[in-house]
Amino acid sequence: MVNPAPKPYSEADVNGGEINVQGINRIFKDTEGKDIVALESVDLKINPGEFISLVGPSGCGKSTLLRLITGLDTPTGGELYLDGDKINGPHHERGLVFQDPTLFPWLNVYDNVASGLAARKILKEKKYEVSEYIHLVGLEGFEKSYPHQLSGGMAQRVALARALVNHPKVLLLDEPLGALDAFTRMQMQDELVRIWQQRGTTMILVTHDVDEAVYLSDRIVIMTPRPGKIQEIMNVSIGRPRSRNHPDFLRLRTKILEKLHFAKENNLSYYI
């Protein structure tokens, strides 16, 4: 069977959502029953179609905040909203991509991408979109391939397509490129920018790579060590496409590292 050619996207397809994080606290219990404050008094507004990165030391609550926005976790205090509607649990309007692609090994590329539509029982009427999104991430010709036959970068493309085929207003990315080699990682960064610009989806990225944050983001949210708070939000006023060697890029990179107290740590020049 020949897959249909991708059809043009309508304006309705490319509207990202607005996220409002209001007074969020998240407290966990350790093995002794003592409180561990992961997030404290976090307020953040993310505009429709923005690309935001969350950076900060390990354990500062970046991934916890992402899970709260996704609806996979519940705040101890405060509220979260998508386009004015309170977030009370997972929903296809908020897609999530992990560092591990988490593909179904028994399904081929086509069926992995289609799995979300199948779970929502809308695959029959939306079947044409599976091919659209496989095209969007550049995997035409691999529809019948299985996860074990794919490279790491290709597997992440499948994971992106699987999330995007549900037309999320917000795509949450939890270090999705962290396991890739440097060359593939840069290629995938360009791919994320291309998809974001084409789709207009609001993107929220957790990353340990300062260069990646500067390369991708409109704004960078710097978080403090636990308990995680927002230390500063930095605008990335560098035009696109961006050069990693441009003086403005390097200046901003250095400024962020100074904020994180790692500017003089040569061995940590790329990671925080």
* CATH number assigned to the domain comprising residue 66: 3.40.50.300
Does the pLDDT of residue 1 top 70, yes or no? no
Least confident of 74-83, 142-151, 244-253, 262-271: 262-271
Residue 216 domain-assigned (yes or no): yes
Q: What is the pLDDT of residue 200?
A: 93
Residue bearing the bigger pLDDT, 13 or 229: 229
Residue 4 domain-assigned (yes or no): no
Q: What is the pTM assigned to this prediction?
A: 0.88
The alpha carbon of residue 254 and the mean position of all alpha carbons in its chain are separated, in whole angstroms, by 23
DSSP state for residue 226 in the 8-state scheme: S
The alpha carbon of residue 41 and the mean position of all alpha carbons in its chain are separated, in whole angstroms, by 22
Does the pLDDT of residue 52 top 60, yes or no? yes
Residue 69 domain-assigned (yes or no): yes
Number of domains forming the structure of the chain: 1
Cα dihedral sign for 174, 25, 214, 161? Answer: positive
Structural domain boundaries enclosing 79: 11-104+152-157+168-268
As given in the structure block, the two tokens for residue 143 are 């529809």
Q: What is the pLDDT of residue 131?
A: 93
Q: What is the pLDDT of residue 262?
A: 55
Q: Measured between alpha carbons, how far is 87 from 208 in angstroms, rounded to an integer?
A: 26
**Summary mean pLDDT of the chain:** 89
Does the pLDDT of residue 42 top 80, yes or no? yes
Residue 130 domain-assigned (yes or no): no
Residue 26 domain-assigned (yes or no): yes
Q: Measured between alpha carbons, how far is 173 from 103 in angstroms, rounded to an integer?
A: 15
Residue 2 domain-assigned (yes or no): no
Which of the four pLDDT bands, split at 50, 70 and 90, describes residue 59?
A: confident
Residue 134 domain-assigned (yes or no): no
Strands (E), 182-235: 202-206, 219-223, 230-235
| pLDDT tens readout for residues 181-214 | 899 899 999 999 999 998 899 999 999 999 999 9
Q: What is the pLDDT of residue 172?
A: 96
Taking the C-alpha atoms of 86, 91, 216 and 235 in order, what is their torsion angle to the nearest 10 degrees?
Answer: 0
Residue 142 domain-assigned (yes or no): no
| pLDDT tens readout for residues 94-108 | 999 988 889 999 999
Does the pLDDT of residue 32 top 60, yes or no? yes
Q: What is the pLDDT of residue 100?
A: 87
